[in-house]
Structure 1
Amino acid sequence: MNLFKKLFRKSAPPPPPETAPTPAPQPPQDDTAPAPVCTPPESAQPPLSAADSPAAELPEAPLCPAAAPPPPAEPEEAVVSLPDLPPEPPACLTAFRRLELSSKRELLAFSSYVTLALETTGLVAGRDHVLEVAMERYEDGRLIGRFQTLLQQSAPLSPQVTALTGLTDAHLEGAPSPREAAVRTADFLGDRPLVIHNAAFVLPFLERFLGLAQLPGPVLYVDSLRLARRAWPEYRTYGLDYLVRRLKIAHQLPYRAKGDVLCLSALFRLTLTQLGRSGRETKLSGRFQPTPGVIPDPAGPLWQKRVVFAGALPGGLNDAMQLAADAGAMLRETVTAKTDFLVVGPSAANGAKARTAGALNAAGKAHITVLDEAAFLRLAGR
């Protein structure tokens, strides 16, 4: 037996060398943190007393790292529904196109229009704003309607504006907003051409103002300043205030749109009358102009009519000619196919001018109305 044991021991592999057992891995310890437990230590949670209310807010004891719940998932972004608001009008500028009225035919045909004047809070469009709008509407030369409104402002009026216009913030109480005023202005204007003075200043304000009403245009307009340069080339300047003083047009409301539009309408009628006199008969046109302060009526029967006088008149020939000029007539010296009225004195009833008018009418080349002095005075409203 001992022999077999020895042989067995020699044939069996030697056992592995003994090593010290490896301890199970332990989490690293923080010398400053308490030992991890499933509940907080007693020192972390103060005891409740009988006076503590169940609703009292107490600081929560910190949980151990092993028991701490995972951080909550990020909530999905909530969709906030805004109340329905009226859509803002698109930012746009109203387009304008100028009418030159360069011919007599255009001047005579231009009888339906709207005159417009603005009062603003300053001189720079975009920085300053429209404060007041005033308009007059004419059909066939006759005044048929007026429009005027103040506008609410986003800031108090400056002392300079108040001193110049006499308007205060109290005057603007109850005034429409700029957008509402723009819509009313566009409705009053319709499709009629505008008459404005000094388009270089007015148009930048009008472009933004009428753009609030989403009025794309183009809006036809006439610049009375350009026409005044043609009518009175000898004047040194053509501002509305200067022309009103020079032509003796009554102005009771300076620096207010509702006063300026009255002056603009009167100035425009005078300008049309002055431009309509151009022609070969410049001697009479220079001698007889409308009396200062007298505004011809575009709806009158003598407005822009060619009138010829023949012979002496009992009431005075020069007085009759001045009366015709005050009515807006175009005085001529000779009878032609374009003559509208022939005013004859007693001594010229069968004169050369009367015979020429009769021959033109008989040939169908003209429609000349022959008047004596009494008929002419009735036609002139005297």
Structure 2
Amino acid sequence: MDIKFCNKSILITGVSGFIGFYLANQILETNDNTVSIIGLDNMNDYYDVSLKEMRLSILNEKATAETKGNFTFIKGSLSDKALIDYVFEQYRPDIVVNLAAQAGVRYSITNPEAYIKSNLIGFFNILEACRNSYDHGAKGVEHLVYASSSSVYGSNKKVPYSTDDKVDNPVSLYAATKKSNELLAHSYSKLYSIPSTGLRFFTVYGPMGRPDMAYFGFTNKLVKGEKIQIFNYGEMMRDFTYIDDIVTGVINVMGKTPVENEDGVKYKLYNIGNNRPESLLCFVETLEKCLIREGIIDKPAEKELLPMQPGDVYQTFADVDELVKDFSFKPSTSLEEGLSLFAKWYKEYYFVNKLKAIQI
């Protein structure tokens, strides 16, 4: 599906984040200079800020080409209501993609306030700005797309996870905030006729990803020759989804405003996952193979099997039938293909670039 956003103004929050960057980059790459992206990010130090800065530099460089779209970056927080209101008044976005959030399940156990501030207050500010965008007869926001998470399924036993499943028992604060986002979006869609679509992402990975994610942490330990800790004694299954598949899914959704459901609400939820869970042990073994192939490591690591961590779930598994039905699209990148691309990037970023810098 070739989606174009000609003459559209698109607000992407969390634009220097993993998914936000790839989404903005793809839109700039595939659209002409009539598209405008407004990127918002607070550039916090939850993980290595230099990665965020690198992503931003790529977007800024791409936007300088006459044939590409326009890109404007604004540094700031979702929790700053005055700033969010200013952005909406100044740029009048046609499409809003809210990806900014405090991520991470385990971090939410020790730093809950960060999640309330960003994921609840911040998302409320976005919803209010969308509501006010229709004031005085203005055209307003055409479509609000926002990130949810597979974490909302908690410890559900039924698999694959369907958006029709009941998800009232989150096992982490992070999951609770994401479920709250879905409820808030539904109420605003109902009350103020804001077309909105929530996307439950399943374990996103790939080049330039988040260093706090397991595959990145495993790689760093493998490079250092350290022992790898695998929880629930290796009995963990994850629906690993490659970043390009995620972005394709998001762009498809952006281009199609949800139709009214049986309650007269323009509201929709989709899972975006690979629809094929892999065991964590298999994942690590595949990662090791890819890193050895690139010459990053020369042997597999010693593995320490530990009990389940608080907030974790045994398995994630996406039912993507709705995604296939509405967009004829299904994530399909294999684990080995995706991890091979990650390994190539890791080698370039952490080894080749550093060697060049030393030589200079």
Give the TM-score category using the shorter length: under 0.3
TM-score by length of 1: 0.23
Taking CA–CA contacts closer than 8 Å with sequence separation of 6 or more, which of the two structures ends up with the larger relative contact order? 2
Bigger CA radius of gyration? 1
TM-score by length of 2: 0.24
Structure with the higher helix share, 1 or 2: 2
